[in-house]
Each structure stands twice: as C-alpha cells, then as structure tokens.
Amino acid sequence: MIIRFVVKNLFSFNELTEFNMVPSNGTSLPHHVYKHSNALSTLRMSAIYGANAAGKSNLLKAIGLLKEVVEKGTIDGFFKNKTFRFNDVEERIYLGIEFLVEDIKYYYGLEIEGNKITEEEFTKISLAEYSNDVNQKDEVIFKRTHNGKRIIELNENLKLNEKTSADDLKKAIEIGLAQDNELLINRLAKLVDVHDIRNNRKEFNDIIQLINWFDIIFIIDSKDAFSSVVLKDNELKLKFDQVLSETIKGIKSTAFIQISVEEYLKELPDKYSDSFLKATANFPINHIVQNSENKDVIIQKNSSGKVSIEQLEINHENNRSNIKKFKFLEESDGTQRMFLLISILIFFKNSNWVFLIDEIEHSIHPSLIKDFINKISKEEDIEGQLIFTTHDTQLLDLEILRPDEIWFAEKKPDQSTTLYPLSDFKLTEVMNIEKGYLNGRFGAIPFLGDFKDLNLEDSNA
C-alpha cells in the first residue's frame, strides 16, 4: 500500500509537496479504510481533480519515474530537463515514498543534483505512534550521501555471511559503486543475487521487500493491456467475459487464437518485421511478451526454441444469434479501454496491486465510468489501491468517494503545483460537492475569459 509520496523540484512541483492515502477522521464509507494489524490505516482510492496543466498527471508521472529508476538501478538520463523551470537558483530534485508491506512501514527517498545521487535513504519506520511501545525507533536499513564526499551507512545486520560484518559489505559496495548515478539499492540487489541469499537470509528481507514492492505499482496509459493476463487464466476469463458482455452491447465472449509467425508478420508494417525476428531470436525460453504495436498479441518461446503467437479475438453476436469475430484493434478506443478497466477490477478482487491511471474516463461513456468507480466503491473485499486523475465531476459524490479520497491539483501564481484533499474543507451533510467544485468553492478549476466578449473575427479581413 502507498501511504504517502513527496516530491520537490520535479515537473511542475517546486516546493516539497505531499500526496497521501491516509484516512482523515471522517466516518463515511468505512470499508474504504484498510485497517492493518499494526493499527495503521490506508485508503482504497483517490481521485485527483484540477484544471488542464495544473499538474495532476505530473503526480502520477513522478511516482512512475521513481518506480522506473528503482527498476533500472540508475538515474542516468531520467531527470534531464525535468526540474521546475521557474527556479532562479538550481535546486535538487527529491522523491520519497512511504509504503506498507506485510504491516511493516517503510520509507525510501532519493535526492538528485544533475546526474548525481546526493542522498538515498531506506528506513523501516517506527510504529510507536500506533502502539504503547515507547522504545520503538526508526531503523535505518541503508543511507548514502554525497556532498563532496561519499558516505555509506548500513544496518549492522546486513552482512554477506556469518563470517563477515556490515563493514565488509560496505567495502564491497564502495568498490563496486563506481558511478554516482547508480542506486545503492541496485548494488545491494546485485550482491543479494550473486551470493544467493535472496530466499534464505532474513537480514536482507527489507531489501527484497523494497525491490519487490515496486513490481506491484502499475502506471496505466493507453498502451497498457492487462487483459491478456486475465484472459489466460480460465477462472478469471469467465468473470471477465461476463462483465464485458454486460457492459458492451453485442459482445459475447473472448478467446486467444493460435496464429503462425508468418500470419503475424503479414499484419506488421515492413519496418517492424526485421526487428521482430531479431527480438524473438533473443527471447529467453518460456518468456512471454505482449507486443507494444499490437496489444492483442502474446508471444512466447517454448523449451525447444519455437516461437508461438496467440491473438485475441472478440466474438460479437447480433439479434439473430449470428456470431462474427473481430480483432482487438478493430474495436473502438472505448471498448479497448474497457478491457483494461475490467481487468483492473478483477485484479482488485484478487491482488493487492496499486494502479495509477491518468484520465480514467478517457474514451469511456460517463455512465460507464461512474458504474466502474461505483462498483469498486461498493465492494467490501477489495484489496488493492486505485489512484486516478479525472475531469469527470459526476464522481464527486460522497456516496462513492470519501472526502479524504478526493484531491485537488491547483497551479499557483509561480506556476508550481499544490495538492490538497477535500477533507481540508468544512463540509455539510447536504452539500452538493459537484456543484460546489464547479462553482469554484474548492479551487482547482480553470479560469476562462468571457467568451461573449471574445472577438474571433480578423480585424484585417
């Protein structure tokens, strides 16, 4: 679970800005609050509103950038030309995320100057505020700073084996960590793999938790197609087809059909054929990929080295029970988007993944998107988290979202983004939140000129 995220001097964020999934004192929709065994609570959803160019998307981009950097193990090239443009003095970028894994609270932070990491920290956060144990303290797993001199601090329990110390591990890291743009977590992950202690050394469990946690964060855009994962599971496919047929009129079912490599290449533009053949030659055995050009295609190489291709087909049925097959890319943008959203809904019922979706209503009818969010809202046994940006004001409904699940992004006079939740405002039980927002009560709306006074005629005509 995401608890909170902080960002500074990145995209449209200037000063240190916080977004969080921490419930306020409100009592509405109590099943939206995950109560963890350590007495800490987190929220199920968050909807982020704001005018165009206010910075809503930048929040998701910032979280996605941190995920990508951790996965790549380096900051090299990721932050070039991404600082807040209106700063007169060059400031350092900062990204930090607080998260929960197996009821343990962690914080990971990264400070960057140019193409150099000036600080990286990973801490197990004390839960003393939630318990009666006054002796609980934050526990630093590792910390590295570089302000003229590189300093590395490691938890004393981090050792390669029983015969070595944390200082020995620190020396091994310092020798290998030659580049200032490489993450310390990346170096530690490599040591864990090299020494085969991933599965049998509890001292490195926190390191593994950090690496694995970023794997359950999914930044969704129009290129993603999680439906392939769902549709390859027979049990999940039945649920998917049922929801899809109830949602999109005329669709009966879906199926993955085996096609030959030759058939597939005929559908590709010539410029992609050679690159496809070169790529598949280097595929690991049993490696499954989903082609970025054709989201409906799954490619796999078996143990004998043979490449197999499956293509998604959608069965449409008319009022005379005639069935015709359509390819996924022949469907409308809205139908393709619904494949994604239905897949996410199913994952929410079966995993604790975190989904971040920009403009969730993109290409979707307003009634459908409200039904989708309402479905997630009403379910009692959802396990994941959903964070999305939207302009759809009909979702500003306190029977669907809690006040602390509604956030606003507003651009300040200096062109930086500020974030704040609806729960910061004094609300009444009879208040119409949608109307209040559109009337500017909560800010974060565009200020447009008076169109009736706008002269669109060419004065020189």
Closest CA to 409 of 362, 450, 443: 443
* C-alpha–C-alpha distance, residues 258 and 302, integer Å: 14
What residue ranges in 228-339 does DSSP mark as E strands? 251-259, 288-290, 297-301, 307-317, 323-327
> What pLDDT score was predicted for residue 266?
83
pTM of the model: 0.89
> What pLDDT score was predicted for residue 277?
77
Q: How many helices (H) and strands (E) does the chain have?
A: 11, 20
* C-alpha–C-alpha distance, residues 316 and 327, integer Å: 11
Provide the pairing of β-strand 385-389 with 116-124. Answer: unpaired
Q: What are the tokens at 129?
A: 């505020």
> What pLDDT score was predicted for residue 162?
72
Residues of the chain with CATH 3.40.50: 1-221+358-449
> What pLDDT score was predicted for residue 66?
97
Dihedral angle, C-alpha 222, 226, 227, 232, nearest 10 °:
150
CB neighbours of residue 279 within 10 Å: 13
* Per-residue pLDDT of the chain in tens (461 residues, 90 and over written 9): 999 999 999 999 999 999 999 999 888 999 999 998 777 899 999 999 999 999 999 999 999 999 999 999 999 999 999 999 999 888 999 999 999 998 899 999 999 999 999 999 999 998 766 666 656 789 999 999 998 888 899 998 887 777 777 788 888 787 766 678 999 998 888 776 655 554 555 778 898 899 899 999 988 865 455 567 788 788 889 999 999 999 999 999 999 889 888 888 887 777 777 777 777 777 766 555 554 455 567 778 777 778 888 888 999 999 999 999 998 888 888 898 888 889 888 888 778 899 999 999 999 999 999 999 999 999 988 889 999 999 999 999 999 999 999 999 999 999 999 999 999 999 987 789 999 999 999 998 876 555 556 666 665 54
Amino acid at 339: F
H or E stretch at 170: helix 166-176
H or E stretch at 229: helix 227-231
- Is 1-221+358-449 in CATH node 3.40.50? yes
Cβ atoms of residues 239 and 346 within 8 Å: yes
Contacts of 35 (CB under 8 A, 6+ apart): 41
